[in-house]
Structure 1
């Protein structure tokens, strides 16, 4: 018998280490979504960059995952996870502070921004690898889905309000000062994690074996597993479409529609609202429909959501109209509503899928392989951003943002249909936990 949902929820609230981790993660999430909006405004408005520049900066941010991701998993396996998390938070705060100062004094350029975001990406890579393998040190495996749901709910609440707050902040104090707020959030998160004590003793992996053999072991685990393998391959493809979308949507909203930083923040916030709803029902849907079928259903929704955003420019037949929402003409409001609806639906699907997929990965993976599993998935997924982000920018610059978004939608559709045709539809996290418990006994 598994524990009732209400009992698991209570156990999480009674876990002080998880609560501290949750607080640190939530504060950092708020800052991250402020940066998402502020960085796009900085590139496209302050530095007068193009869609290609937006794609290159996005690629620079995620390039370390492609270059060092597999090695990072091994290093994190052998290192205290809390130490890595603290160093990653403090380092990222410092990078953003430097970015803010250089922008204010007028010496920031696109090449300099590429270098700073590459350094930011290295620190994020190490933190991400430690983040997913540190959570099982805080909560027992039967609580992982609930814990991931709580973390993702906080993330989506931050996305909901963070985007709108960011738009207002950028309009009020400028993009560089908005980035400084994210730097402060990372410093706060690092300080909280520094005071955290794990209830489950952390045991770094033994140092035996060569780097290549340990990388190979992680790759064999992910791509040899009957359920993790199709999850991995289809997610890699999905990330190409998602990276194209992430590059093109700010260009569409800021350049094509001209709705400004506040409009961009409001649309981003709609994705957060949808994600909050998705995470609230994720666990219940997983129990009712099964883990695999719920993941697949959520994946099938996403390409249609991107299609709604791609239709938005068709409703705005007038010239770009920068200004406050009170000054927008009716056709611009229609385009805004369509883009916001697409983001709402997209966020809902991600919020539904995320906790179940992450919880399943963690539940089926042995402790000694957790960091390598996470690093393998994340490094290749983020490596696909290095492909998709510049591709989206190039297509948007040559054929228009609408075309780029339709291609992104098509890539996501191929990914979700491939997932539907795989064995993932039979995956069930509750059955896996019972099997693992029986094996331990």
Structure 2
């Protein structure tokens, strides 16, 4: 009986893992296609680039806390399935509008707002379902495996995306991502998981407050949540500047931009592969702290990159370092939240912090789009570094001292 149960759980995890990997591949293609569509085909202004980058994150501010409550109230598997279908339809509208010659920036923003709304529920359910699929003792290895395949998709996806954009155009390349979400939905629908319907139907406001209290007042998780919020506002700004810097200031082609993201994917894969061993050796908290020390170096290298071959090389080095840091820290951070949070609070804790993260990423993207138009891309990146260091100076001692104990 135990062997049969174990085999069923392994089979379900493999389907869950396959679906996540396929959708990650599609997203990696879109990571190349979307900036090309916005910057080159639609000739967006810097602020419009920021608006587009922020659009998919805005729903986290509006829906994130409510999504957490319903992720704890509803079965998580159906949420995953319908969220993937919704994302497929939202993205699929973009190439259809382009085909009819009517696509405009505001239409793209609406499509990404819808995409973000489905993503709010999808990601809350994704991070909350995994502990039901694998024993908690194996969560680090399971998260690392997901990170490894995600990084592998980000390695191959941008190269394929750059080639597809060059051959067929950015709108057609986005179709790949839309199809990947449909496959993800089908695989998740086939998962077998013991998931009884939660009986709780209490006051939504109370349950939101309960999630907020757990997320921000927890002795260990609270400082980690604040530190991650700071990272997201800085990274949201930096990645908005990156597309403008690479595609305009440095004159990258779609294929070269795809190679840049491929370099990021390769080092993310390396980092994700190292994460379980480093987490065991140093502790999850120290791995997170060390990884986050790399980001200001990344943005500084990008800020000083001249519009020459040397500048292109510096940008490749910067994104490679970013990939290594992100790949290394992600699975230890996920494990901390999944192991320290009770299952009945996991949906709200995941949605609460993700709501804060994505809301601040939107703020960072919008701010960067505005600042690039006023002071240029390089000064904006330097401003991101200063902002991050000031905030880390304010929160850093508590964050690092807490994280080091984990």
Q: TM-score range by the shorter chain?
A: over 0.9
User: 1:248 maps to which residue?
Assistant: 241
CA distance in 1, matches of 2:88, 2:115: 9
Q: Does 1:229 pair with 2:222?
A: yes
Measure, in 1, the Cα distance between the counterparts of 2:180 and 2:368. 30
Structure 1 residue 424: deviation in Å? 2.4
Shift of 1:97: 1.4
Within-5 A mapping of 1:140-219: 140-198=135-193, 201-219=194-212
Aligned match of 1:50: 45
Secondary structure of the residue aligned to 2:293 is helix
Query: How far apart are the structure 2 equivalents of 1:169 and 1:45?
Result: 15
From 129, 136, 141, the counterpart of 1:134: 129
Pick one of 381, 395, 404 that aligns with 2:380.
404
When the two structures are aligned, how many residues end up with a matched partner? 399
| Distance change >3 Å, CA 15–CA 376, structure 1 → 2 | same
Distance (Å, rounded) in 2 between the aligned partners of 1:335 and 1:12: 51
Q: 1:420 to 1:149 in 2, by over 3 A?
A: farther
| C-alpha distance in 2 between matches for 1:202 and 1:414 | 45
2:280 maps to 1:287: yes
SS at match of 2:304: helix
For 1:365-416, what per-residue CA distance to the aligned partner results, in whole angstroms no more than 9, with x for missing partners?
Answer: 0000000000000001101022111101111111111111122233343455
Q: In structure 1, the residue corresponding to 2:51 is in which secondary structure? A: helix
Residue 331 of structure 2 corresponds to: 355
Find 1:340's aligned residue among 316, 325, 329.
Answer: 316
Q: Do the aligned partners of 1:248 and 1:396 also contact (CA within 8 Å) in 2?
A: yes
CA RMSD of aligned residues (A): 1.6
- The aligned counterpart of 1:118 is 113
Alpha-carbon displacement from aligned partner over 1:238-288 (angstroms, at most 9, x marks no partner): 111100012110111111111111111111111111111111111111111
1:52–1:12 CA distance, 2 compared to 1 (3 A): farther
Contact 2:26/2:180 (8 A) holds in 1: yes
Contact 1:272 1:347 in 2 (8 A): yes
User: Which residue number in structure 1 is paired with residue 3 of structure 2?
Assistant: none
1:99 to 85, 94, 103: 94
Contact 1:238 1:415 in 2 (8 A): no
- Report the alpha carbon displacement of residue 151 of structure 1 after superposing the two structures with TM: 0.5
Question: Which residue among 7, 14, 20 is the counterpart of 1:25?
Answer: 20
1:80-99 mapped onto 2 (5 Å cutoff) = 80-99=75-94
Aligned-pair CA distance for 1:293 = 1.1
Is contact 1:62–1:386 with CA below 8 Å preserved after alignment? yes
Query: What is the rounded CA distance, in whole Å, between the counterparts of 1:72 and 1:311 in structure 2?
Result: 41
Compute the displacement of 1:60 (Å): 1.3
Distance 1:416 1:206, change over 3 A: farther
Match of 1:424 among 386, 402, 405: 402
Gaps of 5+ in 1: 1-10, 317-330, 429-441
Where does residue 432 of structure 1 map in the other structure? none
TM-score, structure 1 as length reference:
0.88
Question: Structure 2: any 5+ residue segments left out of the alignment?
Answer: 1-5
Equivalent residue, structure 1, for 2:351: 375
